[in-house]
Amino acid sequence: MTEAEPRVPANITCIDCGGRCHLLTRLDPEDPAQPGDLLTYRCEDCLDRWDLLIPEEE
């Protein structure tokens, strides 16, 4: 478990329909996502796409 890497949820809740959104962005273990990077999710229910920025770590 590496605490230095930002938390990247595999799923988020759809803002529109409350369904489950799956992470589309492929994460490379050799090049972990950084704060400020864009993550793209797609809702499995309404197929809406959501972009999420990785928050800066405190």
Please state the closest distance from residue 11 (CB atom) to Zn ion, in A. 12
Rounded distance between C-alpha atoms, residue 15 and residue 28, angstroms: 27
- Tokens at residue 57, please? 């770590």
CB of 16 to Zn ion, least distance (A): 5
Residue 52 DSSP SS3: strand
What pairs with residue 40 in β-bridges?
51
Q: Which residue ranges make up the site for Zn ion (CB under 5 A)?
A: 14, 16-17, 19, 43, 45-46
Q: Which is nearer to Zn ion, 8 or 12 (CB)?
A: 12
Minimal distance, residue 21 CB to Zn ion, in Å: 7
